[in-house]
Structure 1
Amino acid sequence: MDVGQVILGRPWLFDNDVHIFGRSNMLLFEHDGKKVKILPVQPKGNDKKPDPNKSSQGVNLIGAKEIDRELANGAPIFALAAREAPKDISNVVPPEVATVLEEFSDIFPEDLPNQLPPMRDIQHAIDLVPGSTLPNLPHYRMNPNEHAELKRQVDELLKKGFVKESMNPCAVPALLTPKKDGT
């Protein structure tokens, strides 16, 4: 790649004991007994004038001749095609799927019932090691709006019977993320 390298995630960084130097944007690790240093590479042609075909909003547009030239030079080319999703997806369901959904409509109710499902033959439990200490850490800090929303959701779940009050001394972390519309 001309612009940057791919970092393969936290397990790869840990397994290879990779040292990351943020200021210089350099990675240093050992592979097969040899020290490997990955430096950032500048994109080719940084000294050129701005291309009028390229958008200023970060979208690069190139013509068919440029694509042919790049392919002839052996450059890898990736294409991404996107379309806007319709707001109402109810009429987008394929007919084959719609018939199955209608046949099993009792399995897909509009609202969940206000009770838990009946007890099953197998009940799952978390077995704790006797004498071990639990990770009792403070919960995430929340602003008043987040706290009110979490309280509303927990109260609704308590009312429906999906959760019950716990006597566990440990806090359960909850993290709320705002949606695009701000809710």
Structure 2
Amino acid sequence: MNSKALDDPSQRENLFHFKCFIKDSVRSLIIDSGSCANVASMALVEFLKLPTTKHSTPYKLQWLSECGELRVHQQVMIKFKIGMYQDEVLCDVVPIQDCHVLLGRPWQHDRSTKHDGRTNKYSLVLNDHKYVLHHMSLSQVNDVYQTMSESKEKKKCEEEHVEAESQEEEERRKDHVLQTNQSHSSLPNSISFILHDYEDVFPKKLPSGLPPLRIIENQIDFVPGSQLPNKTAYRSNLEDTKELQSQVEELLNKGYVKESISPCVVPVLLVPKKYGTWCTCVDC
């Protein structure tokens, strides 16, 4: 190796940046000896739908979060490839933005890596094979950050677009609610919105027929030795009988009720109360 490469000042203040393959997709990787944990980006985990596990010893971070203290409680196994070097590392899931994977002291300790500070190269032995990892040039690093920055900007624009569409849809919905609920002008807007959202539960005209049969039907078993009630029905005057018959026929036509085939039908009588309401009397 020539002296120019050994005296390359571009690596004096740089971390180790590289591209790796994770699930056949190119991702950015950083090796930082100052990090006390191996870290995977939350965006990477969500995008590749990687399975996570609960952290054995959850902890809190401050410097990685822009919105205050952050609790790290998930881990993910990252399988990556750099050239011929293939490995898998258990990483903490953190919303970092500078890279997709950061290998810290745990990885360096477990792999007994050696770092050449002047050339910024890492060497290690895994499964009786020796590997030397070479860093990317500054132009390549800048290209990676440029790509990540454009990707973030595109994602931000898409999120803002979706949010704007959601706000427009919400405004249209509110306008529609206000227009369709003019008859309920005395009600607060919050109540009108709820009535609009659940207008299918309170239709102006009830549909005919009963709900479909459920998988589980309730059943009441007889007490052993009990006898079926067998009493004559109450008598009512002609006017009440006609009204009751009219209501029963209407319910039958709409399919809300049906004739019972049970051997223990209980007679039912509607009795008018003092203020014009009706009371249901059951002979049991």
User: Scaled by the length of structure 1, what TM-score is found?
Assistant: 0.44
Structure of greater relative contact order (alpha carbons < 8 Å, 6+ residues apart): 2
Greater Rg over alpha carbons, structure: 2
The structure where strand makes up a greater share of residues is: 2
The structure where helix makes up a greater share of residues is: 2
